[in-house]
Structure 1
Amino acid sequence: MYLKILICCTLLCLCNSYKILAVFPTPFHSHLTLAYKLVKELAKRDHEVTYLTPFPQKTQTKNLREISLESIIPVINERKKQLLSLNDQTVFNSVKFLTNMGYAVTEEFYQNKNVQKLLNSQEHFDLIILAQFVNEGLIGLAYHFKAPFVLMSSMPLFAWSKHFLAHPAPSSYVPNLLTPYSGHMNFWQRLCNSVYDTYSILYHQWIILPKHRQLVKKHIPGEPDLYNLLNNASLLLVNSHVSANEPTIQIPNVIEMGGMHLKEPEELPEDIQKFLDSSKNGVIVFSMGSNLKSSDLPRNKRNAILKAFSKLKQNVLWKWESEELPEQPKNVKLMKWMPQTDILAHANVKAFVTHGGLLSTMESIYRGVPLIGIPIFSDQKTNMEIAVSYGYALLVPLQDLTEEKLSYALEEILNNPKYTENVLKRSKIMKDRPIKPLDNAIYWIEYVIRHEGAPHLRYPGMDLNWFQRNLLDVSAFAMFTIFLIFLVIYLTIKHIIGKRVTKEKIN
């Protein structure tokens, strides 16, 4: 009897566990924070997870097999040197930079010896989870392993991604992710936004996507056509939420998971805890994220920041990657790395000076800390524009940053209670959900497997060409019909007048 019960329990566990391949090749720590949170939870729930990552963990986790993609790190490190310069670049140049970077990562991914070994194996997977970040060539893996796939984006979608995924995103109220716009655009902004969206889509479709197409044909047996696979995703997980992002139209197979990485604060290292506890006037936290380095800031901007901080009665906790900071004020503590979200939870933290990355923005909302934004590239400008419109942040663009402007922003944030009040309102919105975002993401991943790819979630528009989806063919037919009607009327009138003139000449 005991043996029968044991066998039944074992079979029950096996029936509810799946083999999942998770692929996240871009070595951005902010992206992989979400990825690791997800795969670790899947493994915890007894799924057998194979995780391809540039940063494999040193400690092993039950049910989680990590495959190294460390060869991709130099590809990104070389391009990270250019990130600060993107602040002065146009949207057009940013599109080129990001899409070409994504292709370079995808190309190196397929050349990685561990990936080649996996492709040549006879492994079977019930589902594939792919990072959605300018790396469309990865979709070839779903064809190779004959498995449904889920896309996971660490930020709202770029214009070109929305286009090929048939995701509704009108340029009239959905800002291009590379612009400093919110959804409430004036006429000029809507015009510019339309131009940026059109350029983004055309550059991706005509220049970048053909490269990914050839990459898939080269490395995936059977030479599948990527164009036939692009919008076959069963599910799209997007790191967004109305507390931090503006509401937008979501189709049935798009699930928001914004704030998935957030949790209750953990115990801080002793030196940080002591520093925060002893800062009776409060603490300002300053970090430019994991990809940008404060030490790479232009000297004049760095000096302006130092002078502004030195005038504060509050202490400053600064993520500084170099060994020392020349002319470091007494009230500034430097750290090469810090547990940001846990620090923001401390009661003495009064403001957060940030680059405006989405994870940092969500952490500040969750912890109820107002922001001062110094955005540089990608979605950071849009994130900060939305934060300003919601009333819990101030914007100090890097090109305009001076000691006076930063000091004004600090004084305003610290002394005007409206910023804290507004961020606490957003915090309530973020926390007020029927289900935790991580649990929601896991549910839908398992749902897709249970329903064999969940094709019933696809809305009919996904099977139309872009011009059909936007009724351009109908508009063209209507315009042609109207033209024909006017042409017939014109020719009829001309014929009648001609006959009358002829008759008059005869008379």
Structure 2
Amino acid sequence: MKTLGVTLLLLTCANVALSAKILGVFMTPSYSHQVVYQPIWRELSLRGHQVTVITPNPLHDNKLTNLTEIDVSASYKIFRDENEKGMLEGKSLLGEMKRFSKIFEMLSHYQLGHPEVQALIKNKNQTFDLLLVEYLYPSMYALKDVYNCPMIGITSLGITPFGNEIIGNPKNPAIEPDITMEVSVSKTFKERFLSTVLDLTGRVLSRYVLMNKLDKHVAQYIDEDIRPMREIVQDFSLVIVNSNLAIRNSKPVVPNLIDIAGIHIQKPKPLPKDLKHFLDTAKEGVVYFSLGSNMKSALIHPDKLDMILQVFAELPYKVLWKFEKEDMANRTDNVFIQKWLPQQDVLAHPNVKLFISQAGIQSIDEAIFKKVPLLLIPIFGDQPFNAHHMVSKGAALSLDYHNLNRVEFKNAILEMMNNPKYQSHMDDLHVIATDQIVPPLEKAVWWIEYVLRHDGAKHLMYSGRDVPFYQYYMLDIVAAVLATIIATVMIVVKTTKATIKFFMVSRSYVQNKMKKTQ
């Protein structure tokens, strides 16, 4: 008993010793983003860490006594008002980039200026041992210098080109396309050229335009004497990415980039009675249709909505549709609608045979973990990229939202419902995604505590992360070699010309001399 008591005491002391003060900043007002972050800050609180979180989706869990949440849920109105204006308009890539840049700038102004956030920043007695920050828009990274603590980034999406650059993660744009492109692998010269141009343009704009803009932006809310943003962004101890080898192609990565896809996946819970009855009685199979938490089916143009309903009316299957209005004109009996659905529990039902989705990464995660093939209709952001990847893996088909027509839509549904190859490929991806040494949440928390244990874990940081791109791609060396070759060729050419000229002159001189002697 005495030995057991000593052991328990040592374990308790160890837990206290590892306890840290952690600031989490998760700015994106999107449920699909926040569900990836919530399990992490909840688990850190349960493990005894003192956690303060700035979020638009607080847990409000009274059992988490070590958790303080600053509610910035008003961010949703900013995001919704700006995002819904252009989401379905089919703008250019440049237009999409401008729209999202504007949205995140507005969010940053609101959240950094929030009274509770300002009180936190201006409290000179406040300290933190770690900053855990959403790895998407860099303005919040400035808090690292306010508290002079290590910083860990976390993203609910795949990693962006700028995200790769600031940690020195190797990325060859000619092989790995930008996530805003419509392909996940560059094969043609046109694709490789466009990807390279986008990558280089993004690097220049991010490093020189965005960073200067952020310095002025952050200075409005932070009085501390902090470093320029271009220096702060390269100080990540670790980056945690919502990814795995089922949803991304294999590639080399730096030691401080960690995959954790599936972190928000939960065990199935009982369904509401009416929904359970609808699914249980669908022996012919169910097609589940949802465009995610940001894109609303109710915003679909009436003509396109009618076309979709016509197709669903002709199907020999039941259709479950996340639709954000109470009723739907011309809806047939085989279509069941609800404003919000427990998506993971729906996908876990054995009668759900096909998931029609907008190709958001969380929806793809859930489809893989629940083994449901995908018919993808990407709309914006990384969705076309995600869709192309899933099609290339054989577990999905993809349709163009802006050119969607009745025949193509119906044929794609029938093809996927009747051809077992899509289910077979999805089963393969499920095995890859789930065959992991530890669950994603346990992996994420272990690495976060690893950074705490090693005082920032600077040994994980790649030394080439702050190397300018022209040095990283050896453009200066190539230029020097080319210059040397050109100089050598020019010298040889000039020497040869001079030699030839000399011999010609000498020959002429000799000939003239001989003529005179004759």
TM over 0.5: yes
CA distance in 1, matches of 2:470, 2:361: 32
The partner residue of 2:214 within 194, 212, 215 is 212
Aligned-pair CA distance for 1:85: 3.3
**Letter of the 1:181 counterpart:** V
**Letter of the 1:115 counterpart:** V
Once the two structures are superposed, residues 417-439 of structure 1 have per-residue CA deviations (whole angstroms, 9 ceiling, x without a partner) of 11111101111111111111111
8 Å contact from structure 1 (residues 100, 208) kept in 2: no
The partner residue of 1:128 within 115, 126, 131 is 131
**Letter of the 2:271 counterpart:** L
Aligned-pair CA distance for 1:8: 6.0
CA distance in 2, matches of 1:364, 1:421: 13
The partner residue of 1:501 within 491, 500, 504 is 504
TM-score, with structure 2 as normaliser: 0.93
Matched residue of 2:294: which SS?
coil
CA distance in 2, matches of 1:160, 1:417: 39
In structure 2, the residue matched to 1:49 is 51
Once the two structures are superposed, residues 409-465 of structure 1 have per-residue CA deviations (whole angstroms, 9 ceiling, x without a partner) of 110011011111110111111111111111111111000010011011112211422
**Letter of the 1:336 counterpart:** K
In structure 2, the residue matched to 1:489 is 492
Once the two structures are superposed, residues 213-256 of structure 1 have per-residue CA deviations (whole angstroms, 9 ceiling, x without a partner) of 22233333114211111111000001111112222221100000
Matched residue of 2:220: which SS?
helix
The partner residue of 1:63 within 58, 63, 66 is 66
Aligned-pair CA distance for 1:361: 0.6
Matched residue of 1:333: which SS?
strand
The structure whose Rg is larger is 2
**Letter of the 1:51 counterpart:** V
Unaligned runs of 5+ in 2: 511-518
CA distance in 2, matches of 1:22, 1:497: 75
Alignment length (residue pairs)? 505
Q: Does residue 1:475 correspond to 2:483, yes or no?
A: no
In structure 1, the residue matched to 2:114 is 112
8 Å contact from structure 2 (residues 24, 53) kept in 1: yes
CA distance in 1, matches of 2:481, 2:460: 32
The partner residue of 2:428 within 403, 425, 430 is 425
Matched residue of 1:356: which SS?
coil
Query: What's the Cα RMSD here?
Result: 1.9
8 Å contact from structure 2 (residues 30, 76) kept in 1: no
The partner residue of 1:182 within 181, 184, 187 is 184
Change (3 A) 1:3 1:190: closer
Once the two structures are superposed, residues 18-73 of structure 1 have per-residue CA deviations (whole angstroms, 9 ceiling, x without a partner) of 11111001101111011111111111222211111012234333322111113422
In structure 1, the residue matched to 2:32 is 30
CA distance in 2, matches of 1:10, 1:117: 33
CA distance in 1, matches of 2:372, 2:5: 56
The partner residue of 1:100 within 91, 94, 102 is 102
Aligned-pair CA distance for 1:173: 1.6
- Trace 1:136-215 onto structure 2 (pairs within 5 A): 136-215=138-217
Once the two structures are superposed, residues 256-288 of structure 1 have per-residue CA deviations (whole angstroms, 9 ceiling, x without a partner) of 011111122122222222221121211111100
Moved over 4 A (4+): 1-10
In structure 1, the residue matched to 2:514 is none
Aligned-pair CA distance for 1:315: 1.1
Once the two structures are superposed, residues 181-234 of structure 1 have per-residue CA deviations (whole angstroms, 9 ceiling, x without a partner) of 021522221112222222333333343332112223333311421111111100
Aligned-pair CA distance for 1:107: 2.3
Q: Does residue 1:376 correspond to 2:371, yes or no?
A: no
Matched residue of 2:203: which SS?
helix
Matched residue of 2:375: which SS?
strand
- Trace 1:294-443 onto structure 2 (pairs within 5 A): 294-443=297-446
CA distance in 2, matches of 1:163, 1:274: 51
Change (3 A) 1:120 1:4: farther
CA distance in 1, matches of 2:214, 2:75: 17
Change (3 A) 1:471 1:498: same
Q: Does residue 1:262 correspond to 2:262, yes or no?
A: no
The 10-residue stretch of structure 1 (90-99 or 362-371) with the greater mean CA deviation from structure 2: 90-99
Unaligned runs of 5+ in 1: none
TM-score, with structure 1 as normaliser: 0.95
Change (3 A) 1:50 1:477: same
CA distance in 2, matches of 1:46, 1:429: 33
CA distance in 1, matches of 2:244, 2:86: 26
Matched residue of 1:150: which SS?
strand
In structure 1, the residue matched to 2:513 is none
Aligned-pair CA distance for 1:164: 2.9
The partner residue of 1:240 within 236, 240, 243 is 243
In structure 2, the residue matched to 1:222 is 225
Q: Does residue 1:283 correspond to 2:286, yes or no?
A: yes
Aligned-pair CA distance for 1:6: 8.8
Alignment identity in percent?
30
Matched residue of 1:219: which SS?
coil
